[in-house]
């Protein structure tokens, strides 16, 4: 099918690339907090969905949902800091599994609260951007997807510059390298952790607002986003930003093809299976390396 209908291939590739940029944005947030706090946040996807609902609510009240890109991260930043103060700071230096389980609890909590607050319907904030037709109308490309990819790139670049230049960015990077040394040199690591979690939540907010414009959101759709970002981070490696972007786009393309070839009902399943396969591959690669070292 892929070769018989080249237009579908082009369509899937384009869709996948634009989708993948969004995934990369979420994964960047995950890589940030993983690197700095050594925490894997299972609630990442639920933060994304929550950000999406903020944009959706603006749409319901007659404000153009694209403004959600500005409003949502601001609200999400404070929610992120709140979560940090309430839960995460108690699990930061504990066993990793404790933090996974605690964030799993947060994830279930958010999922259900969103279900109560917003209802279990699949919703979408209509941006009214129209579509672009390419190749004799064979390939449809919603303008909202192009918009969302553009905005994600802008945000990612801004964040990279911020991390490089600003004082807080330098403190965050120092804490990621060595928390104890940073503490000795006068960095308030507690504050850095809170800010990191807040920035991560804000990134999720941006991504969520974009997802609510481009795709659909639903209270229970969070976990796949967590898994996707986890997968992107382990494929790219921590602190490898071009790698995150590349593997994000790769995942997007993979997903679109899985959608076309296997059918939509296996889309999420194939993502999770891919995760397992990547981890298994990684294990065998590492074990070979270990044997070599022997």
Partner 1 sequence: MNKNAIIYGVILVFGLVAPFVFPAFKVQLSILCVLIILATTWNIQGGEMGYNTFGNILFYGLGMYLCASVQVGMFFPLAEWTESGGEKTFVHTPTQFFQGMAAGLVVAAVVPTLIAGIIGYAILGLRGHYFAICTLGLGVAAGEISGGIEIIGAGQGFTTPPFPNVGGLEARGEFFYFLSFGALVLTFLAVRAIYSTRFKLILNAIRDNEDKAEAMGIETMKYKIIGWMVSAFFCGLAGGIMGGLVGYIDSTDVAFDGREMGVFMVLMAILGGKGTLWGPVIGATVFHIFKEGFWTFFLGWQYVALGVLIVVIVIYFPEGIMGWLREKYPERFGEVVDEADRKAQVELK
Residues that bind partner 1 (CB under 8 A): 40, 42, 87, 90-91, 94-98, 100-102, 104-113, 115-116, 223, 227, 230, 234, 263, 265-266, 268-269, 272-273, 275-276, 279-280, 282-284, 286-287
132's enclosing H/E stretch is strand 131-134
Residue closer to partner 1 (CB basis): 210 or 274: 274
Residue closer to partner 1 (CB basis): 112 or 166: 112
Residue 283 Cβ, how far from partner 1 at the closest point, in Å?
4
Judged by DSSP in three states, 284 sits in helix
Residue closer to partner 1 (CB basis): 284 or 292: 284
Residue closer to partner 1 (CB basis): 44 or 144: 44
Torsion-angle region of 135 (φ positive above 0: left; ψ -120 to 50: alpha; else: beta) = left
Give dist(CA 225, CA 26) in Å, integer: 8
Q: What is the DSSP pairing of strand 139-142 with strand 131-134?
A: antiparallel
Residue closer to partner 1 (CB basis): 122 or 280: 280
Strand partners of residue 123: 217
Give dist(CA 31, CA 126) in Å, integer: 31
Best CA proximity match to 67, nearest among 123, 129, 127:
127
Judged by DSSP in three states, 285 sits in helix
Judged by DSSP in three states, 1 sits in coil
């Amino acid at each position: 099918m892929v070769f018989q209908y080249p237009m579908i291939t082009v369509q899937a590739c384009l869709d996948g690339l634009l989708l993948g940029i969004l995934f990369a944005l979420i994964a960047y947030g995950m890589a940030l907090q993983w690197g700095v706090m050594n925490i894997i946040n299972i609630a990442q996807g639920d933060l994304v969905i929550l950000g999406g609902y903020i944009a959706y609510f603006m749409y319901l009240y007659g404000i153009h949902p694209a403004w959600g890109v500005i409003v949502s991260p601001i609200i999400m930043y404070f929610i992120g800091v709140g979560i940090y103060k309430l839960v995460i700071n108690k699990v930061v230096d504990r066993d990793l599994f404790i933090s996974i389980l605690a964030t799993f609890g947060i994830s279930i909590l958010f999922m259900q609260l969103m279900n109560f607050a917003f209802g279990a319907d699949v919703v979408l904030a209509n941006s009214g951007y129209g579509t672009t037709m390419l190749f004799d109308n064979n390939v449809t490309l919603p303008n909202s997807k192009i918009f969302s990819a553009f905005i994600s790139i802008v945000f990612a670049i801004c964040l990279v510059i911020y991390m490089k230049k600003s004082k807080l960015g330098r403190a965050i990077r120092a804490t990621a390298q060595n928390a104890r040394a940073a503490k000795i040199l006068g960095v308030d690591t507690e504050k850095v952790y809170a800010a990191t979690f807040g920035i991560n939540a804000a990134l999720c907010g941006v991504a969520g607002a974009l997802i609510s414009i481009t795709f659909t959101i639903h209270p229970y759709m969070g976990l796949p986003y967590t898994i996707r970002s986890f997968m992107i981070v382990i494929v790219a490696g921590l602190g490898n930003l071009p790698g995150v972007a590349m593997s994000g786009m790769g995942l997007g393309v993979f997903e679109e093809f899985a959608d076309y070839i296997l059918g939509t009902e296996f889309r999420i399943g194939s993502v999770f299976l891919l995760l397992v396969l990547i981890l298994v591959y990684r294990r065998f690669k590492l074990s070979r390396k270990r044997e070599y070292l022997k």
